[in-house]
Amino acid sequence: MLSAVPRRIFHTFFRKPPAQRVTAKVPPYIRDQDSNTDNEQPLPHDFRIVYPEFLPDPRPEWRNRLRERLERNDMLTRRSVVAIPEFYIGSIMAVTVGDPNASDKTNRFVGICISRGGTGLRAWFNLRNVIDHQGLEIMYEMYSPLIRNIEVLRLEKRLDEELLYLRDALPEYSTFPLDMEPELLPEGAPVPINDIKVKLKPRPWHERWERKNLQGVQDLGLPQRFYNKAKLHEKPWEKYDLMMEYRATIPEEEQADIFQEIAPHYQQLESSRRQSKRRLAQTSRY
Amino acid sequence: MEVMSLLQNTTSVLAGSVGTTRNMSRMKKTRPFWQPKPTRTLYPEELTPSNEAFGSEVISDHLSSSSPLKCEPWERGVWTQTSMRCGIIARKIGVYPMWDKNGRRLLTTLLEVPDNQVIKYIPPEKLLETTHNKNKNRKRPMEMGALVVGADPIDPRLVTKEYYGLFADTGLMPKKKLTKFLITPDAKLPPGTPLYASHYTPGHYVDVLGTTIDRGFQGVMKRWLFKGMPATHGVTKSHRRPGNIGSGGAKARVLPGQKMPGHMGRKKRILRGLKIWRVNTKYNVLWVQGPAIPGATGSYVYVYDSWYHHCRHTPDNPPPFPTFFQDEDNIDEELYHEDLHVFSNPSISFNE
Amino acid sequence: MNVVPAILRAARCGEGSRLHTSSSLQHIQKQTRLRVVDNSELGKSAMLEGRPPRCIHVYNKKGIGRTGDKVLVAIKGQKKQAILTGCHQDQFPLMPKFDSNNIVLVDENGSPLGTRIHVPIPTFLRKKLTDMSRPKENEAKYCTLPFLIDHS
């Protein structure tokens, strides 16, 4: 994870010096006049956790500031039409999409968010549920105009970054009623972490879960040779690999720039985020 | 008289390019014959800071001066179906999805149009004089002129004198990227005319010419998608090799065109018939159909009106001709194709 | 909590980490075992006996079956045609991905052998399946709830 100290050291000593700007060159990216420096706000600590898709893909060969900016504008425009609430992997959500084949032309699906990814307009998440003893997963694009409504029925986190192991878990761990009521979350409360330990079905599995260092599963009950093999595949040095972390993340300074760009819209984002939480509280009173 | 200076420069460049060494024919870096070497070797000129600042000030003043047009505006031509408009120089800045009104996702490539300006108009008779012109050898040469267009201003202190000479007559700042677009004489534009992304309107089709990503010297598996050979079963040192390259007997030689290892990429490739989905006139960006425009992010591409017959402009749907004069006409900031979903519109709903 | 967002994790591992080179691409092709989800006698008995049908042909040009494709299956020594109503392999957005490869048996005229389906099916198949079934009394009831759950 991003500990502040090593990053700062890294940036001080190893960062490439900025290329000298030619005086006569018109830079392709010009900041708007309205984003003056007086109103600069501090970067909220949870910005990158709540809105991860606003940070661009860190691959340097795909970066372009103008493109990222246009993409963010489109994202904010779409968010002003359909509120995309705060959610995490492990949250239980209901998504309503327009569907020309359904009888009432809409389609609502409830499920647990097992994975989430993509940056910018490509952002997506996966919902999983078991309906009539049949496991189902649906991938939704967050900014697709087919989406009518996204509700978070239970806002919580789990112990793991991805819950793909629910495919190999007993079905009761991914079964959620379709008429589930939204649950109460008090104002200003931190997002609860559900430390449930899931029981997996016996092998064969989709992946070798013993190698994934999962926190949210019960004892896998494998012979010792599996753990020995997993030990050989461990990469304990990766958490010290500063270069890898640098390549995989957007530096803090650039994050601040990005936030400054969307700062005028941040109040609106936050209010819709609070509203969705309040709506949760209201509906659960009945 | 403008042409004279260009031609003089041309001769000097031709003389200079003779001695260049090249090791691999595919690797040579070519400039158009009429373009001098743009940049020079920089050396410490030991200018005082105040002199340096004065130079920068002069350059920025020059950049911000209002109209670069030195000549009177020319009479504007009228579009006919045989007209050929000027193209523009654009920069590929990325790919992202858009959705159409049925909710179908399409990938679009964003092309930024960086400060394009017309540098020079070469009338047909002058163009025919240049030696490297295939048109000259035809029995009835086509009535085609050319527009030299430049993009992206560059610091004049960085360029060579010969390169700067191309721009000196027009009173324009030197440009980083130059190219020549063939046009019919009715599409001519005076030097200094800016070209914007609104040169194209949503729904029109374009051809995009770019240089593919340079992959260097590659083996047959990457270059021609050969299968290679097995990893085991007695195979030694031939896992990624091509194998047999020809037969014996009468054809006891390697036939021309045999797929072999070699240099891959950095070739000019043109992608034709791409629809324009959206235009941003503030930042001068085009949203063009498809993710496969040749070149890496940040590379220059040339955008032309499409060459395909079914993609050409029709009298019902004529293009802005000779270009769209954005400074004179009002235009919306965002132009969308009618089939495209606009993000500010409500979600798509299907009626019974 | 120190959770790296999945987005960053994915970037760290590269797109290639999602690409499996083993059989877990889960293609439906010849020799794939399938699961009958309708209430036809043939299908029920085959599933109860633990002899699930095997795909012996996919009626498309690619040879890989996707949701809605027609396949030929070998079931209890017979050849029957069937419609794929759910696939396990990775799907496009909004197309449900199932935990099993489900089929509905159809006869040579294309009408379903059974009258009910026990599991949800994608909505776009609703019209397709109802169009295929010949009009008769007590016809298959394909439900309208999310990907069809028949509560009747």
Helix and strand numbers (H, E) in chain B are: 5, 13
Q: What is the pLDDT of residue A82?
A: 92
CATH of the domain at A94: 2.30.30.790
- pLDDT confidence of A285, banded at 50, 70, 90? very low
Q: Which of A237-246, B308-317, C28-37, C126-135 has the lowest mean pLDDT?
A: C126-135
Q: What is the pLDDT of residue A96?
A: 94
B110 touching A (Cβ < 8 Å): yes
Average pLDDT rounded to a whole number, residues B120-146: 82
Q: Name the residue among B88, B223, B106, B87 with its Cα closest to residue B151.
A: B88
- pLDDT confidence of C132, banded at 50, 70, 90? low
In CATH, the architecture of C21-132 is: Beta Barrel (2.40)
Tell me if A11 is assigned to some domain: no
Instruction: Decide which of C5 and C95 is more confident.
Output: C95
CB B259 within 8 A of CB B242: yes
Residue A10, min C-alpha distance to chain B (Å): 27
Q: Dump the DSSP string for B194-261.
A: EE-GGGS-TT-EEEEEEEPPP-EEE-HHHHS------SSTT--S-TT--------GGG-SPPTT---S
Would the CB atoms of A55 and C7 count as touching at under 8 Å?
yes
Residue C59 has which token pair?
A: 């009626």
Would the CB atoms of C94 and A139 count as touching at under 8 Å?
yes
Q: What is the pLDDT of residue A261?
A: 81
Q: How do strand B105-112 and strand B334-336 relate by DSSP bridges?
A: unpaired
Would the CB atoms of B283 and A148 count as touching at under 8 Å?
no
Average pLDDT rounded to a whole number, residues B165-170: 85
Q: What is the pLDDT of residues B240-279, one digit of tens each?
A: 999 999 887 888 888 888 999 999 998 999 999 999 999 9
CB A128 within 8 A of CB A112: yes
Average pLDDT rounded to a whole number, residues B21-31: 59
| Spatial distance between the Cα atoms of A65 and A250, rounded to a whole number of angstroms | 13
DSSP-assigned beta bridge partners for residue A247: none
Average pLDDT rounded to a whole number, residues B164-174: 86
Residue A248, min C-alpha distance to chain C (Å): 5
Q: What is the pLDDT of residues A107-118, one digit of tens each?
A: 999 999 999 999
Q: What is the pLDDT of residue A1?
A: 40
Average pLDDT rounded to a whole number, residues B139-163: 89
Residues of B in contact with A82 (CB under 8 A): 347
* A269 has a pLDDT exceeding 90: no
Secondary structure of residue A114 in the 3-state scheme: strand
Q: What is the pLDDT of residue C136?
A: 40
Q: How many CB pairs under 8 A join A and C?
A: 110
Residue A208 has which token pair?
A: 């070798």
Tell me if A218 is assigned to some domain: yes
| Spatial distance between the Cα atoms of A109 and A126, rounded to a whole number of angstroms | 11
Average pLDDT rounded to a whole number, residues A193-212: 92
Q: What percent of chain B has pLDDT over 90?
A: 61
Cα within 13 Å of Cα(A69), Cβ side: 18
Q: What is the pLDDT of residues C60-99, one digit of tens each?
A: 999 999 999 999 999 999 999 999 999 999 999 999 999 9
**Which chains are within 8 Å of B by 3+ CB pairs?**
A
* C141 has a pLDDT exceeding 90: no
Residue B257 has which token pair?
A: 């065109």
Q: What is the pLDDT of residue B91?
A: 96
N-term to C-term CA, chain A: 41
The DSSP symbol for A39 reads: G
* B299 has a pLDDT exceeding 90: yes
* C21 has a pLDDT exceeding 90: no
| Residue A155 neighbours by CB under 8 Å, 6+ apart | A86, A87, A88, A91, A183, A185, A191, A192, A277, A280
The DSSP symbol for C56 reads: E
User: What is chain A's mean pLDDT, rounded?
Assistant: 82
The pair phi, psi for residue B107, each rounded to 5°, is: -90, 135
Q: What is the pLDDT of residue B60?
A: 85
* Most confident among B23-37, B54-68, B283-297 (mean pLDDT): B283-297
Q: What percent of chain A has pLDDT over 90?
A: 59
Would the CB atoms of A138 and C95 count as touching at under 8 Å?
yes
| Spatial distance between the Cα atoms of B13 and B174, rounded to a whole number of angstroms | 17
* B184 has a pLDDT exceeding 70: yes
C136 touching A (Cβ < 8 Å): no
Q: Dump the DSSP string for B132-175.
A: S-GGGGSSS----EEEEEEEEE--GGGB-HHHHHHHHTTTPPPE
Question: What Rg, from alpha-carbon coordinates, does chain A have?
Answer: 22
- pLDDT confidence of A61, banded at 50, 70, 90? very high
Closest C-chain CA to A118: C7
DSSP-assigned beta bridge partners for residue B335: B279
Helix (H) or strand (E) holding A219: none
The pair phi, psi for residue C114, each rounded to 5°, is: -90, 180
* A50 has a pLDDT exceeding 60: yes
Average pLDDT rounded to a whole number, residues B149-168: 90
Q: How do strand C102-106 and strand C35-36 relate by DSSP bridges?
A: parallel
Q: Is the peptide bond before B322 cis (omega within 30 degrees of 0)?
A: yes
| Spatial distance between the Cα atoms of A194 and A256, rounded to a whole number of angstroms | 31
Would the CB atoms of B96 and A144 count as touching at under 8 Å?
no
Within chain A, residue ranges assigned H as helices are: 4-14, 47-50, 65-81, 224-232, 242-248, 252-285
The DSSP symbol for A80 reads: H
Tell me if A186 is assigned to some domain: yes
Could you tell me the CA-to-CA distances from A45 to A26, A116, B42 in Å, in that order? 34, 20, 46
| Spatial distance between the Cα atoms of A16 and B120, rounded to a whole number of angstroms | 40
Q: Calculate the CA B73 to chain-centre distance.
A: 26
Would the CB atoms of C147 and A52 count as touching at under 8 Å?
no
Average pLDDT rounded to a whole number, residues A218-234: 94
| Spatial distance between the Cα atoms of B297 and B290, rounded to a whole number of angstroms | 14
Tell me if A9 is assigned to some domain: no
Residue B13 has which token pair?
A: 């460049």
* B78 has a pLDDT exceeding 80: yes
Q: Name the residue among A230, A285, A98 with its Cα closest to residue B99.
A: A98
Residue A123, min C-alpha distance to chain B (Å): 10
Between B103, B155, B280, which is nearest A146 by CB? Answer: B103
Tell me if A29 is assigned to some domain: no
Cα within 13 Å of Cα(A246), Cβ side: 13
Residue C98 has which token pair?
A: 């199932």
Q: Dump the DSSP string for B279-307.
A: EETTTTEEEEE-S--SS-TT-EEEEEE--
- pLDDT confidence of B66, banded at 50, 70, 90? low
| Spatial distance between the Cα atoms of B286 and B266, rounded to a whole number of angstroms | 24
Q: How do strand C78-86 and strand C97-98 relate by DSSP bridges?
A: unpaired
Q: Name the residue among B352, B337, B344 with its Cα closest to residue B106.
A: B337
Could you tell me the CA-to-CA distances from A50 to A53, A87, A111, A247, B62 in Å, in that order? 9, 7, 20, 21, 47
* B213 has a pLDDT exceeding 90: yes
Tell me if A106 is assigned to some domain: yes
Q: Name the residue among B60, B152, B58 with its Cα closest to residue B114.
A: B152
Closest B-chain CA to A26: B153
Q: Name the residue among B176, B181, B153 with its Cα closest to residue B299.
A: B176
Would the CB atoms of C8 and A104 count as touching at under 8 Å?
no
Q: Name the residue among B195, B200, B181 with its Cα closest to residue B286.
A: B200
| Spatial distance between the Cα atoms of B63 and B155, rounded to a whole number of angstroms | 10
Tell me if A26 is assigned to some domain: no
Selected for mutation to probe chain B from A20, A23, A148 (highest B CB count within 10 Å) is A23
Q: Dump the DSSP string for C72-92.
A: EEEETTEEEEEEEEE-SS---
Residues of A in contact with B346 (CB under 8 A): 81
Q: Provide the whole-model pTM.
A: 0.83
Q: What percent of chain A has pLDDT over 70?
A: 79
Q: What is the pLDDT of residue C147?
A: 39
| Phi-psi sector, B266: left (phi>0), alpha (psi -120 to 50), beta | left
Q: If you search the block for the tokens 């070699």, which residue do you land on?
A: B262
Residue C86 has which token pair?
A: 């759910």
Q: Name the residue among C123, C132, C87 with its Cα closest to residue C105.
A: C132
Question: What Rg, from alpha-carbon coordinates, does chain C have?
Answer: 18
| Spatial distance between the Cα atoms of A96 and C72, rounded to a whole number of angstroms | 35
- pLDDT confidence of A278, banded at 50, 70, 90? low
Q: What is the pLDDT of residue B269?
A: 94
Average pLDDT rounded to a whole number, residues B294-309: 95
* C145 has a pLDDT exceeding 60: no
Question: What residue segments make up the domains of chain C, in order of their start?
Answer: 21-132
Helix (H) or strand (E) holding C104: strand C102-106
Q: Which of B125-129, B178-182, B234-238, C132-136 has the lowest mean pLDDT?
A: C132-136
Between A97, A137, A206, which is nearest C24 by CB? Answer: A206
Q: How many domains are there within chain A?
A: 1
CB B208 within 8 A of CB B301: yes
* B131 has a pLDDT exceeding 80: no
Q: How do strand A92-98 and strand A147-154 relate by DSSP bridges?
A: antiparallel
| Spatial distance between the Cα atoms of B315 and A203, rounded to a whole number of angstroms | 68
Q: Which of A87-91, A98-102, B299-303 has the lowest mean pLDDT?
A: A98-102
Q: What is the pLDDT of residue B21?
A: 52
Q: Which domain holds residue A176?
A: 44-285
ipTM of predicted assembly, 2 dp: 0.86
Q: What is the pLDDT of residues A112-144, one digit of tens each?
A: 999 999 999 999 999 999 998 999 999 999 999
Tell me if A141 is assigned to some domain: yes
Average pLDDT rounded to a whole number, residues A73-79: 93
| Spatial distance between the Cα atoms of B87 and B84, rounded to a whole number of angstroms | 9
| Spatial distance between the Cα atoms of A116 and A123, rounded to a whole number of angstroms | 8
